[in-house]
Each structure stands twice: as structure tokens, then as C-alpha cells.
Amino acid sequence: MGIQEVDVLAVGGGPANLAFAVGVEEMAPELAARTLVVDDHEAPVWQPGLLIPWTQSQVSFLKDLVTMRNPRSRFSFVNFLHSTGRLDEFVNLGSFTPYRLEISNYLRWVAESLSLVRVAHGRRAERIEPVRAAGGAIVGWQTRFTDGSAVESRSLSIGIGREPHIPEVFKALPAERVIHSTSYTQRIGALDPAGAHRVVVVGGAQSAAEMLYATHQAMPNAQVTMVMRAIGLNGYESSKFTNELYYASFVDEFFDAQPEARTQLLAEMHRSNYAGLAPATLDTLYRQMYLERLTGAERMHITPMVDITDAQLDGDEVVLTLADRKTGALRELRCDVVLLGTGFQKTMPSLIRQLADSAELEDIRVTRNYRLELPASASASVYLQGVNEASHGISDSLLSVLGTRGGRIVEDLLAHRADTDLAAVPAA
């Protein structure tokens, strides 16, 4: 296959790069016509593994791809509702938090509404190499895809998200017995809904709770057990004071903070996103378990304060070894399938690590405007989205800052190009 040439390549077609694409269209239309977004899914979709119909976002609809940067944009969530004839119904719903399904539909609508930026689906990037000038300076990038094609670009925006975290203890199990939340809806259908399955859900946050309840409801003869290290299920820390730390303007404060302060902020904000549940989810689970105890037909169970120290296949059963964190006692829990609500790896995605190695970078660091720090001689640029929590705060992987971040990247990309182009002009 030949090599396609573009000016800007955005790898990953999720919310991050769609917000960037909208920013390019609105702020730099000439550049937008030379920009390509590629994604490995066959169509735009948001969190497909947990696209359960009744699940809701925890973020206001106003924090869409553009409104916080440009409230007058035609790409807003409100305009999406208007364009699809659903504005009256959404307003009447009286909620700031849309269903995930509606957000996914919004992202598809935005991708289809882009008039300058091109979007291509079904293409997975597997390797990125620098393109160097005769003197060795990095002047571009060649991105290779699993279908054998390649794209060369001067600039990259990488928004592929982090990779699923599969705890080591489960890696000895057959793949068909372990389902991570990122593939829950695609794979749970392989189980007979009428079967008397024994399902264990690992984790105590929102994704684990959603899988617990969804499985319980879809499989009326199944026993579902949630296993967690925590003392029990907790609600999100969602006070208005805490939510101010999700303002786009707070990213500046976090970026400029001392390392000790960054560590404290991330630790204290953990329950505002990663270690809690939405109030409605907590109430639903508690009421379900209460009714089951009342009627004597218990199918939902929660086992707190245990570590899973071993996971083996014994015949046709998965055998989990649970260590009680209070007493140290060990016991077995036998099941048919394990659902993992264990989140994502903290390390950089392998594609980004490979790019850094090929560019001979000792460290992966980004500027305030999300640009990967390359040698000063480089006229090429790379922007990393959704993987900068350590330097930009807990909101970096969430919807909260998408519109503002996309705009800052566009501004920085244009300024960096102007600076490097000027530097390349010989003195008179």
C-alpha cells in the first residue's frame, strides 16, 4: 500500500480527538482540510464496553466537546439535541447528566458533522516512527496501521486512552473466563441469559457496580458476587467545592504545583472519580439486596475487605482464593466467569512508549499545552491527550476539560509551527 500524506494525524477517534478536530475546524480551517482522524472502531462510539442503556455520565452536558471553549459552536450537545429533535425531551428530563448512550450518539453526530476534518474508522495504529531530515532533526512521523497502510504527518494528536488493567493473578485463567469492563457489553452476550451462572465482579467502583447490576438483571438465574479490598461501597465525593478542582482553569494551578501538592491533590480527589459510585447506583444496589433478604431469594452478594491471592481453573470451575484482610484467613470462591472492574494501567500506552523509544527520548514529558517535549531541532510535534494525569490533574482523562484542551492544543500547534518555520528561514 502507498503512504498517505496529511498535515495533522489524530490517532484515536474518541472524545479527546473529536474535541481537537472541532477546534481545528473552528480555529484553523485551512489546517483542518489537511487533518485526518483515525480510529480502530468501525463507527464512533463512547465507552462501548459499558454502553448499558440505563447508565449515565457523571459530567454535565455543558462539558461537551466545545461549549466551555465556544458556547456559540454548532457542535454543542444542545445543538445536537436540537438537530435530532430531542431538545424538548431532554429539557423535560430535568437532568444535567445525559445517558451514556446519548453521549455516544452525540459523538457520532459530531464526527459526521465535520465538514473539513476527515474521519476514518476501522484502522488500528500499531507503530509510529519519526521522519528525520538529513541532519537528523525530526520533521514528521510515519504511522503504520495493522492493515498494512501508513500515514505520514508533520503533527500528531494521540488520544487512545490508557490500556485495561488486568491484575497479574488473573492472567493464568483462560481468556474466555475473564471479562474486563472495557469489553463487558460485547462479551457478556456469550453467556446463556437463562443459565445458572456464578459470576464474580472484582472491584468496588462505578464500573464494577454497573456490571454487577446489569448481570443480575439480565440473568435471572445467576448468582452475582462483588469482591473488593475496600470496607464497602462508597459514594462519589461530589461537593461543589471539590468540583471546582475540575475547572479547566485549575489545570494551570495543578501544573505549576509542587510535586508533594500534586500527590496530595490526586490522592484526595481519588474518590471524586475512581473509588466511588453515583448516589442512584448505591441506592439501587442497596434496595435490591434488601428486597432479596426480605424475600429470602438472595442472588446478589458483596464481599468486602478481601484480597484475591490466586485464580486457577479446576475442571470447568474458576477457583478464586480469598484472603480476609481482617483475619488473614483463606477461603475458596468458585465461579464460572470473572468480571474485572479494575480500571486502567497507570503506565503510558504501549504505542506512546514505542514512539518515545523510536524518537530516542529518555522521558515522556509534556508541556502545559500537552506537547511532547522533543529535541529543540524538531519541527514536528506530538500532543498527548488523556494520559497526563500526573502533570495536569485528575480531569485529564475525563470529559471535563475536552473543549478547552482541544483549543489550547490548536493554538499551541499553530504557534509551534510558526516558530519552527521562522527558525528554518535563512538569515538575510
- How many angstroms separate the CA atoms of 272 and 267, rounded? 10
- How many angstroms separate the CA atoms of 35 and 409, rounded? 14
pLDDT digits (tens, 9 = 90+) for 180-198: 999 999 999 999 999 999 9
CA 319-325-330 angle, to 5 degrees, is 35
pLDDT of 424 reads: 64
In the sheet that holds 306-314, the strands lie side by side as 306-314, 317-324, 330-335
Q: Report domain 3-163+346-424's class.
A: alpha beta
Render 6-31 in DSSP notation, one character per residue: -SEEEE--SHHHHHHHHHHHHH-HHH
pLDDT digits (tens, 9 = 90+) for 45-91: 888 888 899 999 989 999 999 999 999 999 999 999 999 999 999 99
Rounded to an integer, the average pLDDT of 90-114 is 95
- How many angstroms separate the CA atoms of 68 and 344, rounded? 27
Pairing of strands 300-303, 223-227: parallel
Tell me if 66 sits within 8 A of 72, measured CB to CB: no
Q: 233: pLDDT confidence band, cut at 50, 70 and 90?
A: very high
| DSSP secondary structure code for residue 382 in this structure | E
- How many angstroms separate the CA atoms of 252 and 263, rounded? 16
pLDDT of 352 reads: 98
26 to 66, 283, 410: CA distances (angstroms) = 10, 43, 10
- How many angstroms separate the CA atoms of 104 and 107, rounded? 5
Q: Report domain 168-236+273-340's class.
A: alpha beta
- Residue 238 reports pLDDT greater than 90: no
The residues spanned by each domain of the chain are 3-163+346-424, 168-236+273-340
Tell me if 351 sits within 8 A of 128, measured CB to CB: yes
Helix (H) or strand (E) holding 190: none
pLDDT of 425 reads: 52
CB burial string 351-363: b at 16+ within 10 A, e below: bbeebbeebeeee
| Cα of 21 vs its chain's centroid, Å | 17
Q: 44: pLDDT confidence band, cut at 50, 70 and 90?
A: confident
CA 265-271-276 angle, to 5 degrees, is 165
In the sheet that holds 3-5, the strands lie side by side as 3-5, 150-153, 138-145, 125-132
pLDDT digits (tens, 9 = 90+) for 364-411: 999 999 999 999 999 999 999 999 999 999 999 989 999 999 999 999
